[in-house]
Amino acid sequence: MQSHVVQKTRLAMLAAACVALMAASPAHAADKIGVSMPNIKGPWFTPVLFGISDEAKKLGYEVTILDAGGYANVDKQVSQFSNLVVQKVSAILMDPANPASFNGVVREAKGEKIPVIGAGSPIVASNVDADAAASSSHCSIGHELAKGAKTLLPNGGTIAVLAGPPGAFWASDRLRCFKEDLAGGNIKIVAEQTSEQDPAIALSLANDFLQRFPDVNVLYGADDTYGVGAARAAQGAQKCGKVKILFAVLGEAAEEMMRAGCADYVVAQQPVVIGRTAVQLMDAIVKGKPLAAKKVEVPLIPVTAANLNSINKTGMQAPKGWTP
Amino acid sequence: MPLVGPASATSVPAKDGIPLVTLNNLVKDFPGVRALRGVSLDLRRGEVHALVGENGAGKSTLIRILSGDVKPDSGSIKIEGQPTVFERPRDARQHGIVTIFQELMIVPDLSVAENIFLGNEPGPALLYSRAKAARKAAEVLAGLGVGSRIDPSERAGNLSTAQRQLIEIARALVLRAPVIVMDEPTAALSENEAAALRRLIVRMRAEGTCFLYVSHRLDEVMEIADRMTVLRGGERVATKDASKIKSTSELIGLMVGRPMAELFPLRNEKIGEVVFSVSGLTRHGVFTDINFDARAGEVVGFAGLVGAGRTEVMRAIFGADRPDGGEIRKDGVVITIRHPCDAIARGIAYLPEDRKDQGLVLTMSGAENVVMASLDECCVAGFVSKSAIRKTARAIADRLQFKGQLDAPAGVASGGNQQKLVIGKSILTGAKVLIFDEPTRGIDVGAKAEIYRLIHRLASEGAAVIIVSSELPELMGICHRIYAMSGGRIRDELSLAEFDEKRILEGAFAAHMAPQASPRAVGAL
Amino acid sequence: MTLSTRTLSSDENRVKPLAFLQRYGREIGLPIIVLLMVIVFSINSAVFLSLPNFRNIGVSAAALAAVSFGQTFAILTAGLDLSVGAIVALVSIVGALVMREHGVVAGLAASLATGVAVGLVNGLVITRFKVFPFIATLAMMSIVSGLALSLSGGVAVTGVPEAFSSLAYARTLGVPIPVVIAVAVLAACIVVLRYTKLGRRIYAVGGNEEAARLSGIPIGAVKIAAYVLSGVCAAVGSLILTARVASGQPSLGVTLPLESVAAVVLGGVSLFGGRGSVVGVAFGVLFISILSNGLNLLNVPSYTQMMVIGGALILAVSLDQIFIGTKAGKGN
């Protein structure tokens, strides 16, 4: 009946209007840059994004941050990257969930003359070079972690490994170089398992390890999420200090655990510095200035309870309460 | 007009002397009941063989065996003298038996042509040829005499019941089936449509088709059957030539096993005040200015043609549809009904035309159905009490002489018993105004009599009963007053003394005789 | 004598325009909404109405389209295939592994065969063991996902030949290959559904299974065919996605079960079976893809996008009910 058609059309327009209302009208004032990350939250990505946002603001850029919601959502990240290319941003900073998947879209970006810079990753795609990259070498992290293991276990011992997200090259690189350094020595790895990058899952995995190997000496965490999970497990089992916790990245929670005596050796990266450096490199490229070096390695800082209070943490952590 | 001829390879060639189908000593058990106890039957070329019997006599089981839906536990089927076993419905079809069930097996969203060729689609190999299907469908529909009224590409769901039935017949025709089983074919048809169907059957019979005609309409059966088989309690009581049966009462006697008492009980004498009245009820395009009333103890009938708007009026009163104007009074007080629960709360109950789709939840037990509208009575502190349900349901079932398992799903009960469940549900709500819409449709003779007795008992207990029915004898037999509706308006009101078939019909036809157009009637009925 | 005669034919004629609207209203409504969306987004974003963006929409819609067309077969039989996402993951792994060792053609064959195999298992479980499609495909989803994860060790399978992955970015006549593939799948589905006996039987089984059964249609075989077709289409969708990410990913396609059902329902296919067309589903896919693309361009966060898509689905289905109504849905 007539009234139904009218009703339906009205509702359709209402729906369209709702969509429009929900849309944020972008202001096309400053230069826009895009940031594409696998994840947005967590002790790693938050400080990187802080570094990027802060530096970008200083230099007068508008930043669009897109995250895929997890390392598993590679296709989503590829899609989001594509979207940034279509928006013709001035540059894209990214950390690929899986470098092999980005060859096609990075080529597209280059085709549109959009520079692609690695932020927290030395590479952006397996077969296409990044225009620049700021990161810490994951292998170096692995070596530092090995140093830490030897420091904690001068007379040898056993380690259980929380290896990181399945298929994440940063985690596997770290572990590879870690193992290289320990080969032939008196430190043995008794268990090794990947898991999603989630604090609750890491805690559960660490508890599992403690159950299966009550006498294990060290728990290794691929990064802060895993390390803090392991530390909490040790805390819960009242084994702080008895089981040593070794991991990379010093976030807020990691710091707390160290002060509580439950985290023993952390190879701290400086994600904020990484973020800022990436932006600076980007700025240079966009403005046509020559680059001193295309790939910048940001130094690592080994942290223990001893030097916890004396090191400079501004390069490591975002200001309290900041969210991307 | 060339019609069915057992000419193609899949059908059964005719040979005189040997029946097309011979059923020998069929036995079939279902859990708890022996549905067929050694039934034998044969079907001959070019005959209409009627199958009659009360519900539960075994007719539907027999039909299901013939259609290949169910296999007999013992006994044999011979097609043209050759013993055959039907493993699945397709086998029955391939042997030339097509069954047209009471629930029409139409796929509503497919076209008419696609329904006609369901399972038999024309086209080379895996492909389907729309054009060929449309063409052949048009041919067969023309042969049935409805070529101009039914478009092969029309959506089948838009067709009326009568037209859908013709589609099923067309389906049988394109399969060149020599045997067509029809289950209650005229139950949902108007008189004209039923007559057209009967003429078609007679024509097809002349060309050699055999019909197994299962029906409760004994007058119809007497009219077109060549032979009749009566089933009772799973057994074949008799098979007689139609010419040898003198009246429907004789048939009823055979069906029931005892002489049938008077069908219609005496009317209730105690009529009280007006308890229910409707004035100016209108729904645009459907019905206009409906005014009537009903007294306590009275049975009021609504006669009319299909599409007159009677069901629509009752649905509006009950709150299932929204009227555009008018007033309803109960016990003199104006009431507003927006939703069936308002109506039930006011003591008004409506028994819908289609008891299976609208009156019962077939998968729930009989007991649960009966108490559905009055669960409060069976609750203890907000929780439903199973024993209370059983007790209440049992009480009502006994009162209504419900013959069946209250614990069994309502879907397995016979038509008459199902109707009793719906009536029981309404009575339990304490309703004093009961609206029955086609209360005895698809119910066998014995159960009909019981329903009439029930209606009168309800009236004598003080209820006002309103009956919508397409069977004039029924209305004239049980009502105190009859309203004739046509084209969405009430045309005439007759009191008992004035009951006259011709006058009622005139009222029913009024809209179609007036020069000005009547308000558009919805073809839902 | 009984009393009922048909009403005059003039009343029937007046019913026809309403019947027409009821039949095609759904099919006209969604394209109009899609058009409105395009207009709204064009106004709000400078880059929306550009060729690169449309190519983007096409590519991101292509995989969803293939999977949704397959899902249509299952839903038309009054069933459902919740395992499509898992099929995409498994095919991605199997395809990548086989391609790496034996070349692209072998990989394609293996991928399609995997889709067929899972579809076959789905169909058998539903027809032989009489498990409801919802439960059967949900269980298969778990089994197939686990299989994908264990075959891949939980890690991406790299080493996919460049020849294959470059297809995701290649174009013919300016149209991205993934879009061409999706359109080819659409054409194939239209042919199957409209011009083959199987297609018509799929509608019959969904529309009135009892009528189909009693007409001699082999219900089991038809349903199995529907799920096999769903599996094959999911395999094609997987190949498109796998090429795009140039690797076999064990958790590819996680959102596809929900999105494909949404696209199918938005496209006017009834969940009760027997009604609807794949062309409508194509518009459903366009609706979802254009919606997410537009929201992306306007930088609406992905979590808000999830809410919007869910809200749109509710809106679309309730419009369906208002307009077509429950009675028609039950085929009276």
- CB of B371 within 8 A of CB of B377? yes
Range(s) of the domain holding residue B286: 274-347+431-513
pLDDT at C13 over 70: no
Q: Which chain A residue has the Cα nearest residue C40?
A: A20
- Percentage of the residues of chain B whose pLDDT score is greater than 70: 91
pLDDT at B6 over 60: no
Class of domain A31-136+271-298 (CATH, top level): alpha beta
Q: B336 and B217 in one domain? A: no
- Percentage of the residues of chain A whose pLDDT score is greater than 70: 91
Supply φ then ψ for residue B275, to 5 degrees: -105, -15
Instruction: Return the pLDDT at A162.
Output: 95
**DSSP structure class, residue B359:** I
Query: Per-residue pLDDT tens for B102-111?
Result: 888 899 999 9
Instruction: Give the helix ranges, DSSP H, for B414-520.
Output: 415-428, 445-460, 472-478, 501-513
Q: Which chain C residue has the Cα nearest residue B286?
A: C11
Alpha-carbon distance of B154 to B160, in angstroms, equals 12
In this complex, do A8 and C160 lie within 8 Å of one another by their Cβ atoms?
A: no
Instruction: Return the pLDDT at A276.
Output: 94
Task: For chain C, give the longest Cα–Cα distance.
Answer: 83
Computed over every residue of chain B, the mean pLDDT equals: 83
Chain B residues touching C7 at Cβ < 8 A: 305-307, 512, 521, 523
Instruction: Return the pLDDT at C301.
Output: 75
Tell me which residue in B126, B190, B512 faces C198 most closely, judged by beta carbons: B126
C129: closest CA of chain B, how far (Å): 19
Tell me which residue in C2, C11, C200 faces B191 most closely, judged by beta carbons: C2
Chain B residues touching C76 at Cβ < 8 A: none
- pLDDT interval class at C5 (50, 70, 90): very low
CB pairs under 8 A between A and C: 141
Chain A residues touching C254 at Cβ < 8 A: 72-73
In this complex, do A75 and C299 lie within 8 Å of one another by their Cβ atoms?
A: no
Alpha-carbon distance of B389 to B393, in angstroms, equals 6
In this complex, do B470 and C4 lie within 8 Å of one another by their Cβ atoms?
A: yes
Chain A residues touching C245 at Cβ < 8 A: 74-75, 78, 98, 100-101
User: What are the residues whose beta carbons fall under 8 Å from the beta carbon of C276, sequence distance 6 or more?
Assistant: C72, C75, C76, C264, C267, C268, C269, C270
Chain A residues touching C29 at Cβ < 8 A: 8, 12
Instruction: Return the pLDDT at A61.
Output: 93
Chain C residues touching A7 at Cβ < 8 A: 322
Interface of C with B (CB under 8 A): 1-8, 10-12, 14-15, 19, 23, 194-201, 203-204, 207-208, 210-218, 274-275, 328, 331-332
C47: closest CA of chain B, how far (Å): 43
In this complex, do C245 and A74 lie within 8 Å of one another by their Cβ atoms?
A: yes
Q: B308 and B239 in one domain? A: no
Mind spelling out the 3-state secondary structure of A126-170? CCCCCCEEEECCHHHHHHHHHHHHHHHCCCCEEEEEEEECCCCHH
- pLDDT interval class at C2 (50, 70, 90): very low
Q: Which chain C residue has the Cα nearest residue A68?
A: C302
Q: B446 and B482 in one domain? A: yes
Instruction: Return the pLDDT at B188.
Output: 76
> Has residue B51 been placed in a domain?
yes
Mind spelling out the 3-state secondary structure of B65-93? HHCCCCCCCEEEEEECCEEECCCCHHHHH
Q: B183 and B98 in one domain? A: yes
Tell me which residue in B119, B128, B130 faces C217 most closely, judged by beta carbons: B119
Instruction: Return the pLDDT at B300.
Output: 94
Q: B215 and B324 in one domain? A: no
Q: Which residue has the higher pLDDT, C306 or B83?
A: B83
Alpha-carbon distance of C201 to C212, in angstroms, equals 8
In this complex, do A66 and C312 lie within 8 Å of one another by their Cβ atoms?
A: no
Task: Provide the residue ranges of all domains of chain C, joining segments of one domain with +.
Answer: 50-320
Alpha-carbon distance of B243 to B512, in angstroms, equals 39
In this complex, do B155 and C19 lie within 8 Å of one another by their Cβ atoms?
A: yes
SS3 A253: helix
H or E, element range at B403: none
Q: Look at A163-167, B132-136, B143-147, B201-205 and tell me which has the smallest mean pLDDT.
A: B143-147
C189: closest CA of chain A, how far (Å): 26
CATH number at residue B57: 3.40.50.300
- pLDDT interval class at A141 (50, 70, 90): very high
Q: B328 and B236 in one domain? A: no
> Has residue B238 been placed in a domain?
yes
Mean pLDDT on A14-43: 66
Instruction: Return the pLDDT at C124.
Output: 97
pTM above 0.80, yes or no: no
Q: Which chain C residue has the Cα nearest residue B474?
A: C2
Tell me which residue in C36, C169, C247 faces A98 most closely, judged by beta carbons: C247
Instruction: Return the pLDDT at B257.
Output: 65
Tell me which residue in A12, A105, A167 faces C156 most closely, judged by beta carbons: A167
Q: Which chain A residue has the Cα nearest residue C41?
A: A20
Chain A residues touching C293 at Cβ < 8 A: 83
- CB of C81 within 8 A of CB of C74? yes
B438: closest CA of chain C, how far (Å): 12
Q: Look at A256-265, B21-30, B306-315, B377-386 and tell me which has the smallest mean pLDDT.
A: B377-386
Mean pLDDT on A120-149: 91
Task: Provide the residue ranges of all domains of chain A, joining segments of one domain with +.
Answer: 31-136+271-298, 138-268
CA distances from C112 to C69, C72, C84, C98, C245 (A): 15, 18, 13, 12, 19
Length of chain C counted residue by residue: 332
Q: Which residues pair with B49 in a beta bridge?
A: B212, B227
CA distances from B441 to B237, B256, B445, B464 (A): 25, 19, 11, 21
Mutation for testing the C interface, residue in A75, A80, A83, A197 having most C CBs under 10 Å: A75
In this complex, do C204 and B118 lie within 8 Å of one another by their Cβ atoms?
A: yes
Q: B439 and B329 in one domain? A: yes
What's CA C325's distance to the chain center, in Å? 24
Instruction: Return the pLDDT at A30.
Output: 65
Chain B residues touching C204 at Cβ < 8 A: 107, 110, 114, 118-119
> What's the domain count of chain B?
2
Q: Which chain B residue has the Cα nearest residue C196?
A: B127
Chain C residues touching A87 at Cβ < 8 A: 47, 297
SS3 B197: helix
Q: B314 and B183 in one domain? A: no
Tell whether B401 lies on the interface with C, counting CB pairs under 8 A.
Answer: no
Fold of A138-268: Rossmann fold (3.40.50)
In this complex, do C40 and A107 lie within 8 Å of one another by their Cβ atoms?
A: no
Instruction: Return the pLDDT at B252.
Output: 73
Residue type at position A186: N
H or E, element range at B221: helix B218-224
CA distances from C14 to A6, B287, C248 (A): 19, 17, 58
pLDDT at B132 over 90: yes
Query: Per-residue pLDDT tens for C145-181?
Result: 999 989 998 788 888 998 898 898 899 998 999 999 9
Query: Per-residue pLDDT tens for C246-276?
Result: 889 888 888 899 899 999 988 889 889 999 9
**DSSP structure class, residue A191:** E
C30: closest CA of chain A, how far (Å): 9
Alpha-carbon distance of B114 to C208, in angstroms, equals 13
pLDDT at C324 over 80: no
Q: Which chain C residue has the Cα nearest residue B171?
A: C215
Query: Per-residue pLDDT tens for A284-300?
Result: 999 989 888 889 999 88
- CB of B85 within 8 A of CB of B71? yes
User: What are the residues whose beta carbons fall under 8 Å from the beta carbon of C130, sequence distance 6 or more?
Assistant: none
- Write the burial class of residue B265 (CB in 10 Å: 0-12 exposed, 13-18 middle, 19+ buried): middle
Fold of C50-320: ABC transporter involved in vitamin B12 uptake, BtuC (1.10.3470)
In this complex, do B120 and C215 lie within 8 Å of one another by their Cβ atoms?
A: yes
Instruction: Return the pLDDT at B41.
Output: 92
Q: B249 and B316 in one domain? A: no
pLDDT at B12 over 50: no
Chain B residues touching C11 at Cβ < 8 A: 307, 520-521, 523
Q: Which residue has the higher pLDDT, C90 or B13?
A: C90
Q: Look at A150-159, B141-150, C85-94, C100-109 and tell me which has the smallest mean pLDDT.
A: B141-150
- pLDDT interval class at B516 (50, 70, 90): very low
Tell me which residue in A11, A87, A102 faces C319 most closely, judged by beta carbons: A11
Q: Which residue has the higher pLDDT, C193 or B400?
A: C193
Q: Which chain B residue has the Cα nearest residue C16?
A: B158
Tell whether B339 lies on the interface with C, counting CB pairs under 8 A.
Answer: no
Query: Per-residue pLDDT tens for A206-234?
Result: 999 999 999 999 999 999 899 999 999 99
Chain A contact partners (≥3 CB pairs within 8 A): C
Chain A residues touching C171 at Cβ < 8 A: none
Chain C residues touching B521 at Cβ < 8 A: 7, 11
Alpha-carbon distance of C85 to B324, in angstroms, equals 50
Q: Tell me, what's the ipTM?
A: 0.81
